[in-house]
Structures are given as C-alpha cells and as structure tokens.
Amino acid sequence: MKKILIANRGEIAVRIIHTCKKMGISTVAIYSEVDEFALHTLLADEAYSVGGNAPIESYLNIEKIIRIALDCGADAVHPGFGFLSENSSFAQQITEAGLIFIGPSTHAIDIMGNKLSAKEAVAHYPIPMVPGSGDALTDVTSAKQIALEIGFPVLIKAAAGGGGKGMRVVDRIEDFEESFERAKNEARAAFNDDSVFLEKYITKPRHIEIQIIADQRGNICYLFERECSIQRRHQKVIEEAPSAVVTPDLRERMGQAAVNVAKACNYYSAGTVEFLVDENLDFYFLEMNTRIQVEHPVTEAITGLDLVELQIEIARGKSLPFRQDELKIDGHAIELRVYAEDPYNQFLPDIGTLVEYREPTGEGIRVDSGFLQGNTIPLYYDPMIAKLTVHAPTRTECIQKMKAAIDAYVIHGVKTTLPFGIFVMDHPAFTEGHFDTGFVPKYFSEEKQIEDEERNSWFAAKIAGKLFGSQQKSIPQGNALKSNWTRRK
C-alpha cells in the first residue's frame, strides 16, 4: 500500500494525511468547489476535484471518487468519518474495483448500520440491552401497546439513524401518536428509511463508549472508555478518557461486552461500541459505529497509539502488535469540538471567515484542524473547525490545561464553542464528575441564562447599594457582574 485516497475533507482528512506521511505513504485528496484551496488539499501529495459543493455532488459521489482513485493509481481508500464511512455499498464497490477499503467488512457495516439488526446479532452474547421492541414498528396502535408494556418514558428511535435524527422522547401516552409520526417522517427524510423502534428511556444516562481495535485474524482488544455525555442535540461536544465514574471492574465488563459486539459481526479495523450507563452504573448496549470516531484523539492520548496507523496496518493484513494485558491508561485526556456555532443561540451554526486564527501550542496540547487563517467555513458541511485535545497526569490538571488552551486559542470572525468549553470546565457538576447527557438543558439552557443574568443583576444591585451608602456615589450600570454566559463572547 503506497498511495491512499482520502474520501473526506476537513480535519479528519488532514489527520489521516499526517499519519500517512509518517508511514511514507503518498496521499490523494479530493475536494468540492468550495474546498479547492482547503488545508487538506494543500497538504496532500495530489488533489482532484470531485464535483460541486453539495455533498451528493462531491463527497458522496461514489462513482467519481472511485474513478479518481483508479486514475491516480491509488491502492486504497480511507473514508474517515461521516459521508461514506458507514456506507456498505461504497465499501463493496471499492473492493470490487480492486482497491483496499480501510475499514471493516461490508458484512459488519450492514449488520451494525441498522440498530435492530445490531441488537439481533449481539443477542447471542451476554450483553445488557435496554428493554424495548425487537422489531421495526410501522403501526401506531401496536406501537402504543408496546410503549405501555415498556412503561413511560419511552424513546422512539430511527432504526437506520444516528445523530439524534428520528429520535423522540415521549413522557405521556397522550403525546405518543404525534411523536411517533414525527420520528418516522424525520427518519424517512434523513435516511430514506422510516423504520423506528421503541426503547425504555433511561433517565439521567451517561453516554460512555468503548474503543475497540481488531485485526483480520480474530484478535480484538478494547482501548478503554470515553465519556461522551456533554452533548447538544444528541451530538457530542466534549469527550474525555477515562470516565470519572468508571471503575476498573466496570471498565473490564464493558470492555469485554464491546469485544463480544465485535465478535458478533466478525469485526476488524477500528470501531466504537456505545453504551448508556444509568445512575446505578448498570450499562446497556446502544450501537456500534463501524469507523474511526471524531473523538479518537483522547484514546490516542491515554494509550500512546495511532489509531489511523493501526487501521492502515490492519487493512494491509497485519496482526495487532499488542495484547490486551499490555495496554495501560496513561493520565487523562479531554477533547473539545471547536464548532463555528453560537452556544448562546442554541448552538446554531455561525458561518463566516476566520479573520484571525491562532491555535494553542505546548506540551500535552493537540489541535486537529482543517482550516487556516483567512479560510471561510462552508455552509454545506458540518461546521467543525477543529478538535482541541489536552493530556495531563490527572483529571484536575487536565481541566486546568484545557482552560489555559482555550484562553490561548484565538478565533475571530465567527462565534465558536470555545466559551462553552470554559463554562463546562468551570462548572461544579463537571469538575466533580456528577453529570449526564442532560447537562446542557439543565445548566446551559436559555432559561438558565436568563436566571443567571437576573441573579447576577440582583447581586450587582445589592453591592451597588452598599457602596452607595458607604461612599455616597453611584456605580455605573456597565459595571454589573457578568455571568459565565457572557464573559467570553
């Protein structure tokens, strides 16, 4: 394998290029019209236009991507994450064209790509499952009956989906029918498949996932856990490894469960098994992602491994170079996804130009970025600018290092999630490890912002009154105390 085409863009394309350069492998980038001068095209050895700006015209254009790979003499294709990374047809066509697909088999992608077939596959192993319907549901009447048997609240989920699309939490039977139809409509629009199923909704869950790596000879290892509970719109924003609540015993049991999930579909390459963990630290299988994850840097930080390099070597047919008992956790790592989003406006995208852009540097600080100063964030794709990852000996030190790194990060021209990162690092619920997937609505909602502003205004008025009484002079209104919501705008 001497030349790899990267069927992706942005920071993951740049990330793959760095590992390929380290391994002495030539890289081929593809780009849409708006990405012609993007960082990944500048760093790759070769770059070719793949079409227009819309994903369906470019990064989802299977025929064009394969043609470019063959014409440029590539040996393999790395899909990164998102776009075609979990498209079994793409993987199959890559293989049929005589190229190597750097990822799992089409069989594994197919089984784990549908939540119902994934549950059926893992049912042969002792893997805890959330109570729910075992089949796809289309009839609202029978679905209602199942919901009553499970007990409210229930979660309606798209069988073919992810990222929060086609998902509805229902607390009352009176709201079930409307939520059921909305979930089906969302699933149809997002995945061209309106199949949905029901699960018991676990209140106050933590989202904890296990990174696994497996070769084509049946060797499987788990690379410990990642805590991914800080989310907005069911999508992760901050991840860390290891989790603050996972004990060595729980880690081993979850790790073995993840290995069994991989066995259930004869998995090889890098993959992630996601679990929900309740207040009693009981865990339940959620799904498997058959690709490298956005948050893989925190696992690399605590293990010292290069997951992209392992993916490539496994695709070459090599065995894992280690055993499970040789793997150890080194320190703590936290990742913040730096999105061009306004956290003070429901995390809506804030598209614009990076007028000023300077990344933090230093020991234990890593930035995976796909942009340079002067670049414009395209409106056609996910608005992630970069991933900021820090590593330190302890969780407490890691939190402090993250705060320092955020302070040193300079981004002007667009609003970002950097202020949200500071808010989380400062919040007692996070620092003490007492949080779940409801962190954002509980502590960072619009209502909470108003409450904080009103409370701070009240304190400011009291202070002003005391100063006025003792010094007989007024304090300008502009000196009112500011909350964490506004101090880093």
- The token duo for 137 is 């549901």
Residue 462 has pLDDT above 50, yes or no: no
pLDDT band at residue 191 under the 50/70/90 scheme:
confident
**Active-site residue numbers?**
291
Which is more confident, 452 or 249? 249
The per-residue pLDDT for range 301-330, each reduced to its tens digit, is 999 999 999 999 999 999 999 999 999 999
Q: The whole model's pTM is what?
A: 0.86
CA nearest neighbour of 122 among 269, 275, 236, 279? 275
* pLDDT score, position 485: 33
Which is more confident, 162 or 40? 40
Round to whole Å and give the CA distance between 389 and 401.
10
* pLDDT score, position 136: 86
Percent of the chain with pLDDT over 70: 91
* pLDDT score, position 166: 83
* pLDDT score, position 131: 86
- The three-class DSSP label of residue 266 is coil
Write the burial class of residue 3 (CB in 10 Å: 0-12 exposed, 13-18 middle, 19+ buried). Answer: middle
Which is more confident, 478 or 296? 296
Q: Are 9 and 59 in contact (CB under 8 A)?
A: yes
User: Amino acid identity, residue 486?
Assistant: T
pLDDT band at residue 164 under the 50/70/90 scheme:
confident
pLDDT band at residue 135 under the 50/70/90 scheme:
confident
Write the burial class of residue 279 (CB in 10 Å: 0-12 exposed, 13-18 middle, 19+ buried). Answer: exposed
Beta bridge partners of 226: 209
* pLDDT score, position 163: 66
* pLDDT score, position 486: 30
Q: What's the CA dihedral at 16, 22, 25, 29 to 10 degrees?
A: 30
